[in-house]
Amino acid sequence: MENILNALVVLANFVLIPGLAYGSQIALGALGITLIYSILRFAHFAHGDIMAFGTAFVIFGTWGLQYLGISFGPLPTALLALPLGIAVIILYLLTADRLVYRFYRRVKAKPMIFVMASLGVMFVTNGLTRLLIGPGERRFDDGQRFIIGVRDFREWTGLAEGLALRGSQVITVVVALIAMGLLFWFLNRTKSGKSMRAYSDNEDLALLSGINPDRVVWITWAIAGTLMVLAGTLYGLDKSYRPFTYFMLLLPFFAAAIVGGLGSPIGAIVGGYIVAFAEMGITYAWRRFFSHLLPDEWMPAGLMQVLPVDYKFAVTFGILVVVLIFRPTGIFRGKTL
Amino acid sequence: MSINIRNIVLFSAMGLALVMTGMYQSWPLALTILNMALISAVMALGVNMQWGYAGIFNVGIMGFTAIGGLAAVLIAMPPVPEAWAAGGMGAMLGLMMGAATIFAAILIYKTMQPGKLRGLSIILVLAVGYILTSLVYGPATHAISRVDPAATGFLGGLGLPVILSWPVGALMAAGLAFVVGRVALGLRSDYLAIATLGISEIVIAVLKFEVWLTRGVNNVSGIPRAVPRPVELQTRDWVQGLADRMGMSVAEMARIVELVSYAILFTIVLGILIWLAEKALNSPWGRMMRAIRDNEVAARAMGKDVTRRHLMIFILGSATCGLAGAMMVTLDGQLTPGSYEPLRFTFLMWVMVIVGGSGNNWGSVLGAFVIWFLWVQAEPLGRWLMDVLTSGLGADSAVRVHLMNQAAHTRLIMMGTALLLMLRFAPRGLIPER
């Protein structure tokens, strides 16, 4: 019995809890991708870079607050600086929309032209981020680091294995759940949310019913921007902030959105957790987990790791390929909001 | 290309800019820019085949370039006999077993009736194949990487002339493109984009972490040269004579001679490719391609197999990128997996094609020259710009120091702005498609 408990603790400590946090971060990003895809109808390649840009402002805000001696008690100060980052990013996205995307919407350009334009925005944003905060790694987490420490857990339960629960992990999951709840409430219960869904379902019909397309687009950018800054800040608190890492998150974001079904918010969330747990599970060295369950003489040599951590992109890619071959529309039959 | 004044003026202006760089900065710099611009032009031709002829959106150019670079190592580096003795056969056997496992799974998928039994047998074959493969592959590759890790630690190559790696690099990129294309083509165009983005990251991960193949982040340096090195050139009489006549030091002249020889090689390759591409574009095949790009449904109705044609052009374009990748590693003389950055190797190529004029081969070449020139020259320009902008802040202001340190990144902003402006105001590029 104790062996099984120990094994479960190992699993929770190294796969379940980090996977849950990572999955929430990916789900937030993928939600943004999927929203932009279903309303504006293009794959938003600037997502990762704008996320990094917004997080940079959250970091600046955090530094400012720390300088003024303001803290958020046991919680990271960055949460107080979130509104600043979100405001800047919404303003930035609306400016980008006015200067870049609106023109292509007016002339009804092909989706690929939008994607090209988002590449241009990506370049500019990437340059701005590096100019402002530099390409290096930044840490901005403060507050209480651990909710449960490894040693406390061992003393408390008397098990051989310890469990660490970091504050950032709990905050990530809680904030993500609140954001998702609000989003679904907004989409299903408010008039603006309903007009967004109508616009996504059938643009012409929505226009005929008097829905203001510009307003729908603005709301979409505002929501997507909020989600980006949330995802970026939570990822930075949980792991670390580096503009290039954020750019690379594009792949799991898109994979999650496609796996769930492009355009389906619930799909993006499910996809996010699928991608995260698959990545964690396949790159985790299972030796320690099985050492509690199997007798010593049954244990094989090696780490019992399916793929080294370096190949986590291969896992994401593998999921993507399986979905593309067997169910190209994704789990939740995409393209309806 | 229709020979018209506009295009001649554009290309001459580009040549003049390079000559000015040579005269006012230095000739080796101008020639270095020229060489990379020629390689970029080859790559841009490949991207243009995919995007300009067929409307295929590939964001994994970096991956195909990198696999071409790997070819340069595998062909040109001398073999390491100790490493082969330590685990060469094991590594090869492991790779073959891995391939056999995948083939077996595909075979089962194709031959058995759909159902639970098929799914189970595929999973079983994959699991058994994976375990057996890793039992052979793991120890062998580990043994290879332990052979004198400071100097080798990898299998080495075949020790053949490096030029041979150019077609081989193209073939390797073509093979990769075949696999990716089979999976992702024929679906929505965004899916191919994401698939290529993923595969390029995987290729880079393989180059970085399969130490037995590429020495990983230790880099493979000292790849045999395609032309004599400056050190050898310095001893030649004609180089010394030329240096005397031009009033340069022998060392600088030797460097220039080396760079010029590379430029000649690259120009030959580029010339052949443009000739082939122009021939293809103006043949019935090229017309079919453009017809598919402009109206897929109509082309399908005319009985064209759109997915197969797309796969073909995707392979051709990727092969061209692989060729360019092998050329680049040949020029550098080393493979540095850490230096492959998507912004530089994938997205900059897109800026080149869009700015130059998608659908026009000469446009892509010009775009590659212009953008590469700007990319190199934007760095000092950005520094100067930032210096002027922040000059009001005082010499030791922290903000000024920070911004000056990061000033090189302004070139990203310039590239993005160039792309956005071209896309908005001249979407057909500098040399539009006819």
Taking 80 as the threshold, does the pLDDT of residue A183 lie above it?
Answer: yes
Considering its fold, how many domains does chain B have in total?
2
Mean pLDDT of A129-144: 86
Annotate A242-261 with b (16+ C-beta within 10 A) or e (fewer).
bbbebbbbbbbbbbbbbbbb
pLDDT at B3: 60
pLDDT at A217: 94
Question: Phi first, then psi: what are they for B325, rounded to 5°?
Answer: -65, -40
For residue B357, is it within any domain? Answer: no
In three-state secondary structure terms, A140 is: coil
- B280, B313, B341 — which closes off a domain? B341
pLDDT at A297: 76
| Radius of gyration in angstroms for the set of CA atoms belonging to chain A, rounded to a whole number | 21
Nearest residue in A to B346, CA atom = A119
In three-state secondary structure terms, A261 is: coil
Residue B195 contacts A where some CB pair is shorter than 8 Å:
yes
B172 and B50 fall within a common domain: yes
B151 and B178 fall within a common domain: no
ipTM of the complex: 0.89
> What residue has token string 């996205």?
A93
Contact A14, A238 (CB under 8 A): no
CATH number for position A101:
1.10.3470
pLDDT at B372: 94
Cα end-to-end distance, chain B, whole Å: 8
> What sections of A209-311 are H helices per DSSP?
213-238, 243-248, 250-260, 265-283, 287-291
CB contact under 8 A, A324 and B405: no
CB contact under 8 A, B191 and A324: yes
Q: Which of A123, A247, A286 to mutate: most B Cβ within 10 Å? A: A123
Find the CB nearest A320 among B194, B403, B416.
B194
Q: Which residues of B touch A321 (CB under 8 A)?
A: 183, 195
- A·B CB contacts under 8 A: 129
Q: Which residues of B touch A258 (CB under 8 A)?
A: 191, 194
- B314, B341, B368 — which closes off a domain? B341
Nearest residue in B to A136, CA atom = B406
Angle at A137 between CA A131 and CA A141, to 5 degrees: 115
pLDDT at A334: 61
Taking 50 as the threshold, does the pLDDT of residue A280 lie above it?
Answer: yes
B89 and B165 fall within a common domain: no
Q: How far is CA B378 from the centre of its chain?
A: 22
Residue B126 contacts A where some CB pair is shorter than 8 Å:
no
> Beta partners for A241?
A138
CB contact under 8 A, A123 and B205: no
CB contact under 8 A, A250 and B55: no
pLDDT at A52: 96
Considering its fold, how many domains does chain A have in total?
1
Nearest residue in B to A120, CA atom = B416
For residue B360, is it within any domain? Answer: no
Closest listed residue to residue B191, CA positions, set A34, A328, A256, A314: A328
Q: State percent of chain A over pLDDT 70.
A: 98
The confidence band for A328, taking pLDDT boundaries of 50, 70 and 90, is confident
Residue B420 contacts A where some CB pair is shorter than 8 Å:
yes
Closest listed residue to residue A314, CA positions, set B268, B199, B168, B251: B199
Q: Which of B48, B134, B190, B349 to mutate: most A Cβ within 10 Å? A: B190
Nearest residue in B to A320, CA atom = B195
Angle at B148 between CA B143 and CA B153, to 5 degrees: 55
Widest Cα–Cα separation across chain A:
72
CB contact under 8 A, B413 and A131: yes
B48 and B104 fall within a common domain: no
Q: How far is CA B84 from the centre of its chain?
A: 29
pLDDT at A335: 57
**Rounded distance, CA B288 to CA A162, Å?**
65
Residue B252 contacts A where some CB pair is shorter than 8 Å:
no
Cα A334 to Cα A202, A328, B119, distances in angstroms: 14, 9, 25
Nearest residue in A to B386, CA atom = A131
B139 and B166 fall within a common domain: no
pLDDT at A22: 95
Which of residues 39 through 58 in chain B touch A, CB cutoff 8 A? 55, 57
For residue B433, is it within any domain? Answer: no
pLDDT at A325: 80
pLDDT at B32: 93
Annotate A46-77 with b (16+ C-beta within 10 A) or e (fewer).
bbbbbbbbbbbbbbbbbeebeeeeeeeeeebb
Among the ranges given (A110-114, A223-227, B67-71, B389-393), the one the predictor scored with the smallest mean pLDDT: B389-393
Q: Which residues of A touch B197 (CB under 8 A)?
A: 250-251, 254
B135 and B193 fall within a common domain: no
Mean pLDDT of A43-63: 94
Contact B410, B378 (CB under 8 A): yes
Closest listed residue to residue B273, CA positions, set B168, B364, B177, B172: B364
For residue B380, is it within any domain? Answer: no
Nearest residue in B to A328, CA atom = B187
- B318, B341, B364 — which closes off a domain? B341
B88 and B165 fall within a common domain: no
B174 and B298 fall within a common domain: yes
For residue B39, is it within any domain? Answer: yes
Q: Which helix (H) or strand (E) segment is A165 a member of? A: strand A165-166
B182 and B87 fall within a common domain: no
Taking 80 as the threshold, does the pLDDT of residue A301 lie above it?
Answer: no
Contact B138, B148 (CB under 8 A): no
**Rounded distance, CA A28 to CA A215, Å?**
22
**Rounded distance, CA B374 to CA B417, Å?**
12
> What residue has token string 């999921």?
A319
For residue B33, is it within any domain? Answer: yes
Q: Provide the sign of the torsion angle of the four alpha carbons B326, B331, B333, B336, taken in this order.
A: negative
Cα B128 to Cα B100, B119, B121, B300, distances in angstroms: 12, 14, 10, 43
Residues in contact with A69: Cβ distance below 8 Å, sequence separation at least 6, in sequence order: none
B167 and B255 fall within a common domain: yes
B177 and B92 fall within a common domain: no
Question: Phi first, then psi: what are they for B411, rounded to 5°?
Answer: -65, -30
For residue B10, is it within any domain? Answer: no
Q: Which of B403, B412, B417 to mutate: most A Cβ within 10 Å? A: B412
Find the CB nearest A310 among B189, B205, B342.
B205
Nearest residue in B to A310, CA atom = B205
Residue B302 contacts A where some CB pair is shorter than 8 Å:
no
In terms of residue numbers, what domain contains A234? Answer: 2-326
CB contact under 8 A, A127 and B409: yes
Q: Which residues of B touch A121 (CB under 8 A)?
A: 416, 420
pLDDT at A276: 95
Q: Which helix (H) or strand (E) segment is A148 a member of? A: strand A146-148
Contact B57, B310 (CB under 8 A): no
Contact B318, B393 (CB under 8 A): no
Residues with pLDDT less than 70, chain B: 1-3, 395
**Rounded distance, CA A152 to CA B364, Å?**
63
**Rounded distance, CA A132 to CA A141, Å?**
19
CB contact under 8 A, B420 and A120: yes
B163 and B120 fall within a common domain: no
In terms of residue numbers, what domain contains B150? Answer: 80-155
For residue B222, is it within any domain? Answer: yes
Q: Which residues of B touch A117 (CB under 8 A)?
A: 420, 423
For residue A337, is it within any domain? Answer: no
**Rounded distance, CA A202 to CA A218, Å?**
18
For residue A43, is it within any domain? Answer: yes
Average pLDDT over chain A, rounded to an integer:
89
Nearest residue in B to A42, CA atom = B190
Q: Which residues of A touch B194 (CB under 8 A)?
A: 43, 251, 254-255, 258, 320
Find the CB nearest B420 among A100, A112, A317.
A100
Angle at B164 between CA B220 and CA B155, to 5 degrees: 35
Residue B423 contacts A where some CB pair is shorter than 8 Å:
yes
The pTM of this model reads 0.90
Contact A211, A60 (CB under 8 A): no
Taking 90 as the threshold, does the pLDDT of residue A44 lie above it?
Answer: yes
CB contact under 8 A, B205 and A324: no
Task: Looking at mean pLDDT, say which of A152-166, A309-323, B355-369 comes out highest.
Answer: B355-369
Cα end-to-end distance, chain A, whole Å: 46
> What residue has token string 């006819």?
B434
